[in-house]
Structure 1
Amino acid sequence: MYKHLVLGAGLLFASTALAAPVPQTKITSNGGYIVVLKDTVKNFESHIEWARSVHKRNLAKRDLDERTYSGIDFTYTGSNHFNGYAGHFDPDTVEEFRSSGDVDSMEEDQDWTIGTIDVPESEADEEEEEEELETRDITEQKNATWGLRSISHRQPGGDNYIYDENAGADTYAYVIDSGIRITHEEFEGRAEQAWTAYGDDHEDKIGHGTHCAATIGGKNYGVTKKTKLIGVKVFDQNSTTTSIIIEGIAWAFDDIISKNRTGKAVLSMSLGGTYSPTMNRILKNAARHGIIPVAAAGNDAQDISKGSPSSAEGVITVGAIDSDWTVYEKSNFGENLSRPRCDDRVCRPHQRHLDRQEDGHIHGLPSRCRPRLVRHDCRWHHRHRQRQEAPAQERHARQDLRRPERVTKLDRQQRQLTTRIK
């Protein structure tokens, strides 16, 4: 028997009024490799010792530069996901690894560079600090942004956001991004700097992670105003690698399991790059463990199957709509869940207050849509976790809530919003 589900088709909708193009993620090879071991490998340390000896032997044999071929940079370990490692190896070492009976797969590591966030100073800042959003009767937020209004209304328009005052309580959003400025007043002490790939440096230097966290659970602009926000810093400034992102995902995965947060935790990924089988593999496994991974779709007018994490099985890939609920012409497409696009306000990483964004700046970024789904999922977890649905059942139930007729101007390709699945 087939059931009609409204899937967000990976569509990324954006404001037609935007004057500036959306910043893109640039991906380049860095000469590194990600190595995944087979599940049958029982002695991980023994394999690591062998791999290091092969690397050392080949460097000495060919008098190669250790600065170019640094060897194993870090390892992936844990009972919840694959074991493996990442590093820089010479061609002969790479071939020996490929022929090893212990190795399940290898892929080239990639450098990721995202467009920086343009947050202009303006004379309106003081006005915005005074223009606090009013909350009335604890469940109605007046003068809400249109994105919030869209979530709680069946038609465009209206000036309020209706919500459960306890939405998000006892739920967790792991924000895999550039860090979170936890002292920002939007977070009310609910944000935590939990993990970083850069020593003790948790600072959000570009504002991307702080904005996304506020979009998920900010006191004024978040749907789930009680959720806890867990900062997982994988970007330093605007750069990272595939291997580092996977390391951050692996840490979050293990942390959720060890703290018994399955069924009430979401992985938030406002990022996207080239297809990575290793990244997709760990996210698929996370979903099977009851963790909901959520990713931005992108706006390259291409199928989300060409990129990661958007193409991973079990991931809910987020698109957006304009304020009149029309489709952005460059949005990516595929089979996933659609949601309203992002706010027109943002938390600055170095300020304690909120600022309105002008047209052509931050509110056109594809990653801004994804946090709205994350926070909605946190609200869903809070209200429905007692049902103990399996992850797939839970995703399907949420997808049933969507209505394709609400989104207009769909072309033939974009009509994948409505999909038949078993």
Structure 2
Amino acid sequence: MTQPTLHLGQTLRFEGDPFADGLDAAKHETRGAILVEDGIIHAVGPAADLRAAYPWAPTVDHGDGLIVAGFVDAHAHYPQTGIIASWGKRLIDWLNSYTFPEEMRFGDADYAAEIAERYLDFLLTNGTTSVCSFCTIHPESVDALFTAARARGMRIAAGKTCMDRNAPDGLRDTPKSAYDDSARLLNKWHGKARASYVITPRFSPTSTPEQLEALGALWTEHPDCLMQTHLSEQTDEIAWVKSLYPQARDYLDTYEAFGLLGERGLYGHAIHLEDREKAKLLEHGAALVHCPTSNTFIGSGLFDMGGLKSDGQIVGLATDTGGGSSFSMLRSMAAAYEIGQLRGTPLHAAQLIWLATSGSARALHQHNRIGNLGAGMEADFVVLDLASTPAIAQRSTRAQDIWEALFPTIMMGDDRAIASTYVAGKQMKPAAP
């Protein structure tokens, strides 16, 4: 047992989805507090009320800092850390030129551990406290990431990437080894500490029907696991899928036919969806993950956030490291706003911060644990400095409400805006002196 601690500052939490419920879903306290004990938030409310209720609790005063839930990155590739911001390729060329050569190195357990440590430290520096990541085909890459996350106390979801065709020698497994390796890793890590195993076929072009069938069988055996893959990222990718699966009705059908469509499915990108695919995803309650910096960097297209959310789709937000060009969820929020503008549906600051916290947690089926400030939630939170640079400060001083104060940080903020990062109540990025 640890001593309860009161954290004071501005607080922002959600009691609903601002896309569906409007701005009333957001609850802001100009002078608020959260009570943290043993890695759990036990109370949230006005600072005066909590100080009166817990007069014996030591306090950490964050001043005008805005306390929000830690960011939740719903789709990433930690093995691509070292090749982030590689120049000028479309998806398939980018995989062959940068991704696959780098992923070949992750059979080396020491190298995998080095990158896993570096990657998670980058996340914490940028205020991300939870992530759902692809690994490589190598079991060593999975062990490295879960081990590094356990050392930091982070809630993490990840899995061995499975590929048995259209990949280089050394990066292909088989239907049997994909099933066996995944099952062994699942039994080793799933539900241990703050870890969740994710069944992970990379995408239909790199898996034979036999491998997709094997992974669908594994998911049927372990329905409490998430399943993550890619869907309809680029038009030339969709054409490739149709050539490989000529009997499929559409891209989604290549998963659906093998038991890889379900409520706990995570489908990254989902830009160029057909009407049948949208209807099926909604019917199953599957989650789509918007990766805006990746979509612009690799030239994939413009995600229809407005249309999909108005239809009731579940949507999370992600960096898609390293196709995405930043480790920062602030940058992902900014890019999501810009894409929304290009589609004629600009997102409000409340919607953006919700996507990066509660929305992504909902996509990962972790919304009862992370992604919000509330009694009983795990104490993963960040403190945002809303005046972290002179440019941001001079704009935020003109703010008439919290949204005008927050929006410049979303659009122009970087790791300097993350004053502190807390994981399970433990400070992982120290406050600035």
**Fold match (TM-score > 0.5):** no
TM-score range, shorter chain: 0.3 to 0.5
Please give the TM-score of this superposition, normalised by the length of structure 2: 0.35
| Structure with higher helix content | 2
| Higher RCO (Cα < 8 Å, 6 or more apart) | 1
Please give the TM-score of this superposition, normalised by the length of structure 1: 0.35
